[in-house]
């Protein structure tokens, strides 16, 4: 009986160890994906700012053309 209890405890510890490793791998993958998403968001924000500046320049040029 003691052997079965010991074996069960060892199996439980082994399962817990592998479960934690999987969780760590999943967390690392999620962190990598979050970093990638944040990088893309920065590019989008930068592009949106550039578009806004160009739109203002175009509006100013249109006003200049209208005044001619």
Distance CA 11, CA 4 (A): 10
Residue 44 backbone phi and psi in degrees, to 5? -65, -45
pLDDT at 26: 85
The domain segmentation of the chain, as residue ranges, is 1-67
User: Model-level pTM?
Assistant: 0.58
CA distance 5 to 50: 67
**pLDDT bracket for residue 16 (50, 70, 90):** low
Give the pLDDT band (50/70/90) at residue 2: low
Report, in this order, helix, strand and coil percent for the chain, each rounded to 5. Answer: 95, 0, 5
Provide the pLDDT for residue 68.
Answer: 83
Looking at the predicted structure, is the pLDDT value of residue 42 above 90? yes
Side-chain-side CA neighbours of 6 within 13 Å: the count stands at 3
């Amino acid at each position: 009986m003691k052997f079965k209890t010991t074996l069960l405890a060892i199996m439980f510890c082994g399962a817990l160890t592998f479960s934690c490793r999987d969780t760590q791998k999943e967390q690392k993958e999620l962190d990598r994906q979050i970093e990638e998403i944040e990088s893309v968001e920065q590019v989008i924000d930068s592009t949106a700012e550039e578009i806004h500046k160009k739109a203002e320049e175009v509006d100013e040029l249109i006003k200049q053309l209208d005044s001619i």
